[in-house]
């Protein structure tokens, strides 16, 4: 199973566009929100498949990036659940 970092800039977020389906889908696939616009996901998919899937939840002017993570990330602070996710997928 591969681990991916999904990040985005939602250009129309302040204009009232409904991004709730994006956040619901990230929750449905058990992604972990590690920063305000960054999620970690473990999946049996390719990087392109993950990008193509989540691209359907954002507008054409939004920015979306998917990075396959091969080593346990280092960080100074992260949101609740990040440490447990990383320990589960990369060990302590």
Position 13 pLDDT exceeds 90: no
The structure tokens listed for 71 are 């080593």
Q: What is the pTM of this model?
A: 0.91
Q: Which CATH class is domain 2-71?
A: alpha beta
Q: What is the pLDDT of residues 72-84, one digit of tens each?
A: 999 899 999 999 9
pLDDT at 29: 97
Q: What's the Cα-to-Cα distance from 90 to each of 4, 70, 83, rounded to whole Å?
A: 12, 9, 10
The structure tokens listed for 88 are 């589960």
Mean pLDDT over each residue of the chain, to the nearest integer:
92
């Amino acid at each position: 199973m591969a681990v991916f970092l999904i990040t985005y800039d939602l250009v129309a977020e302040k204009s009232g566009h409904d991004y709730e389906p994006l956040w619901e889908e990230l929750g449905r696939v058990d992604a972990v929100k590690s920063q305000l616009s960054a999620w970690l996901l473990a999946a049996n998919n390719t990087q392109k498949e993950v990008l193509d899937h989540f691209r359907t939840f954002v507008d054409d002017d939004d920015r979306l990036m998917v990075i396959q993570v091969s080593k346990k990330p280092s960080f100074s602070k992260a949101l609740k659940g990040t440490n447990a996710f990383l320990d589960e997928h990369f060990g302590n």
